[in-house]
Amino acid sequence: MSTAETRTPSELARAAADAIAELSGVERHDIALTLGSGWGKAAGLIGETVAEVPADRVPGFRQSAVVGHPGTLTSIRIPNGKHALVIGSRTHLYEGHGVRAVVHGVRAAAAAGCETMVLTNGAGGLKPGMVAGEPMLISDHLNLTAVSPVEGANFVDLTDLYAERLRAIVREVSPGIEEGVYTQLPGPHYETPAEIGYLQTIGGHAVGMSTALEAIAAREAGMAVLGLSLITNLAAGIQETPLNHAEVIEAGRQAEARLGALLGEVVGRL
């Protein structure tokens, strides 16, 4: 039998999808969600939990190395009859496992049948006046990781990467929600004030260490993408106090119930 090291990304994604179906008892999922910092409570508000699987029992997944990520894959039956796969085990680029590992969850979700990918994260706000604890609907992104999950001469169109039809649903549920451009940097260090000034100049509105690579992989796999950030703090040079991960976790904890209700209603309309 081949191992994770020798299987192609598509083979590993297929093996993961087969394991998810077997361990959850759900043959096919329709919607996938990766829940970042502050979004964890949404899983319990989307619908009825059918099964919760430790991520390390599924090929290609591992327990999350980041506080605030549960390390499970959860199958949820939504009231509209669809099934959602909640990925609570996100691999970040800074963990050193490579780009394939970062986007494996997205590819596994596509292999499991998902046609819609919802990506959430905690992010630093780049706009003066942004309020910590509030969500931002991602309209586009800047991928400043210097890598891509697309391999070979596969020229994937990213024109409408964060699907306008899905963003319209969010605006219906939450009129007046902040909307903007998300920037992914590799991390794990936070940015300098000079770097934040640069990101503002080139059009960024929020910055974090995930999401963009996953969104590209989702589009490559043919999925429609919806992205949401929780503004956990204002970025360096805008916020007067030093940045720390405990602050991110606390902002997420305080906003979880409100964000969960928002995402639960949105998913019910997808």
Does the structure show a pLDDT above 50 at 2? no
In which band, very low, low, confident or very high, does the pLDDT at 260 lie, cut at 50, 70 and 90? confident
Tokens of 195: 């770097």
**pLDDT, average across residues 208-227:** 98
Please report the pLDDT score of residue 62 as a whole number. 81
Enumerate the active-site residues: 191
CA distances from 171 to 136, 168, 201, 228 (A): 11, 5, 26, 12
The whole-model pTM stands at 0.92
**Residue-level pLDDT at 242:** 66
Q: 213 or 132, which is more confident?
A: 213
Task: Compute the average pLDDT of residues 125-137.
Answer: 89
Quick count: other Cβ atoms within 10 Å of Cβ 110? Answer: 23
CA distance 68 to 241: 22
